[in-house]
Each structure stands twice: as structure tokens, then as C-alpha cells.
Chains A and B, each alone.
Chain A
Amino acid sequence: DTGVSQDPRHKITKRGQNVTFRCDPISEHNRLYWYRQTLGQGPEFLTYFQNEAQLEKSRLLSDRFSAERPKGSFSTLEIQRTEQGDSAMYLCASSLRTSQGDEQFFGPGTRLTVL
């Protein structure tokens, strides 16, 4: 399977706990994105990496959220001291910018439930 993968697919945690999600992009893609999607809404942009550099971070991302892409390959998204409002689907996407545009390929998502 050469698509974007995410792990875990589902995570249930208690309020106040820390969680970490992993995203493995398509290998030749240099761009990686994290989004959050709540029920009935479109994905909301969280952050973006080009190679290992985090170039953009949404104001939606509070200080409890941090993302890394240490070697320009896989990425992790950590949420500290989770709150019930963090419950959502967290989507990762990757892309390779070409003259034809910047089609993002999405992973299956990690569904987070905070109890």
C-alpha cells in the first residue's frame, strides 16, 4: 500500500491525558498537512510541513498541540492535556507540488474520543 497511512485509527482517552498520532505520507511527497474534522464540517487546517520545516500553524492550534516531522518523512501530532472539545477526526494529507497543482492525498484519519 503506497497511500498515506495513519496510526492509530481510533483512540479513546480520558480528559487530561496526552495522545500522539502518527502519519506516514506517500514517500516522495515533500508536503505534509494536518487537519481536524468534526461531524458535519469540512476539514480545518491545523499545520503544514515542507520537508522537516513547519511553515504554517493555524490559530486553532493551541499550545497543547504540537506537531513534528523530524526527518521530513513521517509526522507526529501530539495533544497534551486533552479536553472533550478535542474529540474529532484528525486527518493527515501529503502532496508533491507540480505544475498541475498541489493535489493532497489524505490518510484514513485518526478518530479521537475524549471522555
Chain B
Amino acid sequence: AQKITQTQPGMFVQEKEAVTLDCTYDTSDPSYGLFWYKQPSSGEMIFLIYQGSYDQQNATEGRYSLNFQKARKSANLVISASQLGDSAMYFCARSDTGGFKTIFGAGTRLFVKA
């Protein structure tokens, strides 16, 4: 099965430090998209960052950056200068060539300590 693997069920980080959330994926599609979403305890899914499989540069959005290593099929999320409000579940996801069927990982719960 083509799946998304997030090996860290839970992570702790000190406020103001950087943290990396791991994500690896399976795919046989030549073209695909990779996403990260944040889900706070309130439940809404919040889009963070997108990386296309043919993008030459790693995506960045403010404090979020995606460390994309295509040959290793990994798409790790880096959060710089962690804030208390970053405490949430984080999901990695992959869409297929058509861009519609999106597969999500099981998520990583991030705890930011003051």
C-alpha cells in the first residue's frame, strides 16, 4: 500500500527552539504533492506548507520549512523558533498525480514547553 509514515507519535521541544517532524512516503507516481497540516485540540485542520515533487527548492512558509529529499522519499517539517501555540497534532500528507486522492500519516503530537 502506498502510505505515509510518521515515526514520532509524540515530540517535546523547548520554546524558541527548532524541531523537526519526520515523514516518509511510498509512491510510484512520477508527480505528486506533499503537504503538512496542523490540527490543534480544537480540531480544525490548518494547512501549513506544500512541496511539489518537481520543485527544485525546499518549500518555506514563515517559520515552517519542508526538508524534501526525493531520493529518500522523505519530507520532514522543520519548525523554527517554536511557540507555545505550536502545540498540536501535525499530519504529513501526499496527493497523487491527479491531485485528488490524498493520503495522510498517523500524525505526530508536538508539545512545546515553556
Contact = CB atoms under 8 A, between A and B. Distances in A.
Interface of A: 31, 33, 35, 40-45, 48, 50, 55-56, 89, 91, 93, 97, 100-106, 108-109
B35 interface: yes
B68 interface: no
Contacts of B37: 106
Contacts of B91: 42-43
A91 B91 CA distance: 14
Interface residues on B, range: 20 to 34
A42 B106 contact: yes
Going nearest first, the 7 A-B pairs with the smallest beta carbon separation are A42-B104, A106-B45, A102-B99, A101-B50, A48-B100, A42-B91, A43-B104
Contacts of A108: 43-44
Majority-rule SS of B interface residues: strand
Contacts, number: 61
Majority-rule SS of A interface residues: strand
Contacts of B104: 35, 42-45
Interface of B: 4, 33, 35, 37, 43-47, 50, 52, 91, 93, 95, 98-107
Nearest to A9: B43
A107 to B, nearest CB: 8
